[in-house]
A and B are shown apart, each in its own frame.
Chain A
Amino acid sequence: MKAAIFDGIVLGLQYGLLGVGLTLVFGLAGVLNLAHGQLAVLAAIIAALTIDAGSSAGVAALVGILCAAVIGLLLDRTLMQPVYRLRGESRVLLGLLLMLGVAFVIDGFLEWRYPIEALSLRIGGDPVPILGVNMRVGSLWASGIALAAGAALLFFFRGTTTGRAVRSVIQNEEGAQLCGINPAFVRGLIFALSGALAGLVAITRSMTSPVTVTEGITLTTLALIVAVVGGLGSVSGAFLAGILLGIVDRVSSFYIGTYITTIFLLAAAAITIVVRPAGLLAPRR
């Protein structure tokens, strides 16, 4: 049981990192990025190809993350422009459909050109005992990176002028404009950041299990569940939801079986929507 919970926390930190990129873009731009998981896989494959070309793992990881950030920015500057001209429901719908298209394109391209490519960044070393549970080195690295990323995000949003400007646009776009803040700049920044986070989660995930070209849809679904449970737009909510769902995932597969975990995760999301429609830590409005 203790091992299952520890595994759940390790997994949950990855879930949090996955969900936070999706939740930020939704909170800011009203776009549900259904290509978030595919963007992560794309970063993983770019990193794998960079390694194949003779690069070190560290450089390859940076290349993958950077490419995902650039693709995020490009999506904002091109495909998302007609979305921003709409308001309310039609905005959410168009953004969702366009991003679904992007997901299909990335999936199709990767399965066509690189069907057997995968990223696996094994980190060697003996398991490290923590409170009596043997933890793999790769898991510890992945968790450490996710925690550091979460802390960096919280510092960015609470403690920096630019981070405050991002939150101000999320809370009241017109008010932000009247303070001299350019919402278009903030959107580009957050799309790039979200892309980089997708790339980062692909890298940390590959430290515990290979990231293959078909994994995009799984990652997108998980990101959606985490974002819904955590409250769309909430950074700390995404990490809290990620950890809770990670524990649900591991404990249910430990006691019942892996086949049931997705159903449990979806049930957790459904219960959250019923009990707390705005998510665990959703901003009160």
Chain B
Amino acid sequence: MRMKESLPRKIFVVSNIVFLLLVSLLCIAPFINLLAISFSDKTAVAGGEVTFFPIGFTTVSYEFITNTSKFSTSLLVSLMRTAMGVPINLLLIILVAYPLSKSKGEFRARSIFSWFFVVTILFNAGLIPTYMIVRNTGLIDSIWSLILPEALPVFSMLVVMNYMRSLPKELLEAAYIDGASHLQTLIRVVLPVSTATIATVTLFSFVFHWNSWFDGMIYMNTIQNYPLQTYLQTVVVNPEEFLRNNTDLSGNLSKYLSMVSARTTGAAQMFLAMIPILCVYPFLQKYFTTGLVMGSVKE
């Protein structure tokens, strides 16, 4: 359907594009500014000269960070929690979604278990009781405190469950008649056709683990156990102290002090922490839309 474009229509189309450009710029400008600051000379930054391009280009902030131990230690913790947490999330999501996707006739306890999990999204016990349970199970200062309390993301499980329920019944009946067990049906029949939805929740889980910081702050007593975002929080909230602590500790870093400032090193660390998200997020769009629409909005 192509209509003859009238003059007002053309004006609208052009101003619409200009508006969208401005909005998009508004969304990414702060990140470009951040990147420019991280590569700029500290005096230019302090003078407020840096907008979207580095002034007095230098990589000294990045050199400084890679020479401090805390950034890399916390990066390692984050990589570990993601590498352990995402597969565990995924395993539990699948192991729960499959039984709950059965009809009441096939699995009589279905609604009891559904309620068992759904209640946890309706009612949250709050900060202190959750903290006490984590402490009582001996997870303080252990990486498991970042993994086990959220081992089953219930919302993601519901998305996958709803998808599995929408699969054609004939598919599963055929597997049953061929003598496949539940586990075989799950692995050989259900999972191969659920890849888009599984990919969606994997990405949710990845973003969750990468971005979490609060659990690290309350469950970890020693800063060596902080995941990246928890450590970054200390930098963001108190940038000057970060710089002082790191230059006091080791003498070989004091040479950087004249070249870097709290703002340039802070910007560099934030940018490094963004990279994994920057790498995956443009590809998520298709999965997120299909996954969300298929999974959550159905009658």
Q: A and B bound?
A: no
